[in-house]
Structure 1
Amino acid sequence: MLFAPDTEVALRSAVNLINTAANDEELLATVEDLNSFLDAEEFTGSRVNSLDELSSIKRLRSELTALWSSDEDTAAKSVNKLLADAKAMPQLVKHDHWDWHLHATTPEAPLADRMGTEAAMAIIDVIRSKEMERMRVCAADDCDAVVLDLSRNRSKLYCDTGNCANRTHVAAYRARKAAEGE
């Protein structure tokens, strides 16, 4: 384990949120899409179920997308902004099936504030650990999804949104075979 379990959950959730807009797809087109996403991510707390809430999550997604591939100083500024905007106040909590972990907002805080704060708190650990290189963009030429590399040897290059790794490896194999046949 590289990071605390709640940090890894929050980082994966941030990746999944960012990737709802990868490759010119919009997977959060409706409030129902947002609710499905939140249920899949097991995100707790209040929901307004409005178009304004959906818009705020899309703005957060854009902020996280920019943060994901930024340098350490820019990422730190972005994290601090997310925390300040949410008036974050870290506290240790235990609920549902989750053991002790950090929340920095109340369950009643606006959804975008809660999600942004959770992502920011996780990215703090990434920055402090000097592990920003684990936050990448997919190596496939035709993909702009993001990647969280939690592998031991820092070798994860491709996203989990499709079959980028397989497609890239097959293309390389075919290119090698074609070159051999010439």
Structure 2
Amino acid sequence: MLFAHDTECGLIAATALVNTDDPADEGLPDVAALDRFVVTYGWTGRHEHTEAELRAVRELRPRLRRIWHADVDEIVAVVNELLRESHALPQLIRHDDEPYHLHAVPRDAPLATRMAVEAAMALADLVRAGELGRLRICAHPDCENVLVDLSKNRSRRFCEAGCGNRAAVSAYRARKAATRS
């Protein structure tokens, strides 16, 4: 593990949330999809299962996406803005058989607020560690997804949507075509 468990979880969840924002294929089309997202990424605490909550989570995505296209000063500005808006007050918390970790808003805060703060806290750790290079855009030419490279050797290039497999298949087909010529 390169970073604290809660940092890695926050980075992975923020990345996944940003990647649900696809105009061609909405990743959070309804409350049921948000429910699945909450379960998949282990969100605990308040969850209202409402259209209003879904809208609030969707509105967070473009703010987080900006981070993958920004320099360090803009990232810091976004992180500080998210923390300030949420009245974040970091505290060590233990719950659900998890070891102590940081929460900066109460567990009964709105889901979108908790998502924003968890992402901001995780990104703050990246800034402090000088590891913003781990935030990347998928290397597949037809993909706009973002990723966070948590590998030790910093070698991850493709998102979770299967782009690595598509790139490998394309390269294989190109090699095969070249040998036939």
Question: Please, what TM-score do these two structures have when normalized by structure 1?
Answer: 0.94
Give a deviation string over 1:122-152, Cα, whole Å, max 9, x none.
0001111111111111111111111111111
Structure 2 counterpart of 1:27: 27
> Within 5 A, what are the aligned runs for 1:58-69?
58-69=58-69
Q: In structure 2, how many angstroms separate the alpha carbons of the residues matched to 1:24 and 1:36?
A: 20
> Within 5 A, what are the aligned runs for 1:1-182?
1-22=1-22, 24-161=24-161, 163-182=162-181
Q: In structure 1, how many angstroms separate the alpha carbons of the residues matched to 2:152 and 2:41?
A: 24
Taking a change above 3 Å as real, the CA distance of residues 168 and 23 of structure 1, as seen in their structure-2 partners, is: farther
Q: In structure 1, how many angstroms separate the alpha carbons of the residues matched to 2:95 and 2:24?
A: 36
Give a deviation string over 1:37-67, Cα, whole Å, max 9, x none.
1111110111222211111101111111111
Structure 2: runs of 5+ lacking an equivalent: none
How far did residue 22 of structure 1 move?
4.1
Question: Is contact 1:13-1:41 (8 Å) kept?
Answer: yes
Q: In structure 1, how many angstroms separate the alpha carbons of the residues matched to 2:15 and 2:25?
A: 15
Taking a change above 3 Å as real, the CA distance of residues 23 and 146 of structure 1, as seen in their structure-2 partners, is: farther
Question: Is contact 1:69-1:135 (8 Å) kept?
Answer: no
How far did residue 97 of structure 1 move?
2.2
Residue 144 of structure 2 aligns to a residue in which SS?
coil
Q: In structure 2, how many angstroms separate the alpha carbons of the residues matched to 1:85 and 1:58?
A: 17
Q: In structure 1, how many angstroms separate the alpha carbons of the residues matched to 2:165 and 2:37?
A: 26
Q: In structure 1, how many angstroms separate the alpha carbons of the residues matched to 2:176 and 2:36?
A: 43
How far did residue 23 of structure 1 move?
7.3
What is the number of residues matched between the two proteins?
A: 181
